[in-house]
Amino acid sequence: MATILSRWTGYLIAALLVIAPTAAPGDTNLDALVAGIAPEAPLEVAVGVEITQITGVDQRAENFGVVARIRMRWQDPDLAFDEATEGTRLKSMKSDDFNVLARRMGINLPAFTIENQQSRSFEKASVVNWFADGTAIFLQEVILTLQAPDFDFVQFPFDSQKFYFRIIANGPVSFVRLVPLQGASGLGDTLGEEEWVVASDWTEVDEVTGLSGLTSSRFSLGFEAHRHLLYYWARIFVPVILLTLIGWANLFLEEYRRRIDIATGNLLALIAYNFTISGDLPRLGYLTFLDALMMAIFIISVGSVVYNVALRRLSMTGLEARARAIDWHVTWWGYPALFVLTIGILRQVFFAESVFIHLR
């Protein structure tokens, strides 16, 4: 259907593409031109989109792939035919063949663009069925990649993202108006995406600036999804917590030299682990919650090495009692309080609704 252009819509868009670049926004001459050739009432097209499969989500490129079924229904008296004469109540054609027929008959057809399509699409099937009363139904199953510029990974991996499939009419809203097709939009039962859990879906219809440079009708299928967190707990958070506990347990040793060796080894293990999981993290131009957490744990580990070196220096200069007093407070409540305070600050920065800091 993306290739199906009505005769009047095609002529109108061609004219507007020539005129629009030289016309200022809200140009009355352009508006008058459109008003002069617009029909008395726009062609109302009911649209439904069902996503049957999510083929993948690319966080770095901010796009996602889908297999989708697009359905459109409209009514045009020019498509009506006599059942007795034709010997059938229903006609059916591939969309390309129907496009040729419509051009030959001068039939007005809706033309649309998938607004956030990012790559060439692959059509699995595309047909048009129409009945004797002029009711037409367009059916298409397509595989394509959709842009998702609204992705925001600040709270990664506890983030929740919104995904959209947007269809925009090529002609102005005075020519074509899109409305939801009841019961035809939503998500399939077996999406095939293991990382994300779909929480809800909805449809929207609004008006935006279209291909013609004028206001066009737009239909959107949106859905919200969050991640399966078991992987991140097992792969990232549990090992980080264990490394942090090792750093705390190290403070209960009395020999400072051994402490320094263990703290240094723990720091090197954390660095190596960070390189190991780096491939699982999105490479973005801003800090995420997990980035900040790993950085904070790294700083605490470095501080632990410096702290133990400082205690050894104190003990070697005859201030053993002072070193023991400081160490008692840090070991029993200072270190765990620092960790809890770090988590609290990160939670406030990345998850509190009243936060004004946006690390971009």
Least confident of 22-26, 36-40, 60-64, 230-234: 22-26
> What is the structure's pLDDT at 173?
87
Report CA torsion sign: 332, 338, 341, 343.
negative
Q: Could you say which architecture CATH assigns to the domain 231-351?
A: Up-down Bundle (1.20)
CA distance 111 to 10: 9
Work out the average pLDDT over 2-13: 45
pTM for this one?
0.79
- pLDDT of residue 167 exceeding 90: yes
Residues in CB range of 141: below 8 A, 6 or more apart: 52, 67, 68, 69, 70, 123, 124, 125, 126
> What is the structure's pLDDT at 164?
95
Question: 176-188, pLDDT tens digit by residue?
Answer: 899 999 989 999 8
Least confident of 18-27, 117-126, 216-225, 253-262: 18-27
Across 116-143, b (16+ Cβ under 10 Å) vs e yields bbbeebebeebbbebbbeeebbbbbbbb
> What is the structure's pLDDT at 318?
80
Work out the average pLDDT over 183-206: 89
> What is the structure's pLDDT at 16?
44
Work out the average pLDDT over 63-88: 90
Highest mean pLDDT pick, 87-91, 161-165, 279-283: 161-165
Work out the average pLDDT over 255-272: 87
Least confident of 133-147, 239-253, 341-355: 341-355
- pLDDT of residue 50 exceeding 90: yes
Confidence band for 23, pLDDT divided at 50, 70 and 90:
very low
CA distance 45 to 128: 14
CA distance 19 to 11: 12
Confidence band for 235, pLDDT divided at 50, 70 and 90:
confident
- pLDDT of residue 205 exceeding 70: yes
Confidence band for 172, pLDDT divided at 50, 70 and 90:
confident
Work out the average pLDDT over 69-97: 90
> What is the structure's pLDDT at 59?
82
Q: What is the DSSP letter of 77?
A: G
Work out the average pLDDT over 222-243: 89
Domain ranges of the chain: 7-228, 231-351
Work out the average pLDDT over 215-234: 91
> What is the structure's pLDDT at 280?
64
- pLDDT of residue 259 exceeding 70: yes
Q: Could you say which architecture CATH assigns to the domain 7-228?
A: Distorted Sandwich (2.70)
Least confident of 103-112, 169-178, 191-200, 300-309: 103-112
Instruction: Tell me what the pLDDT averaged over the chain comes to.
Output: 83
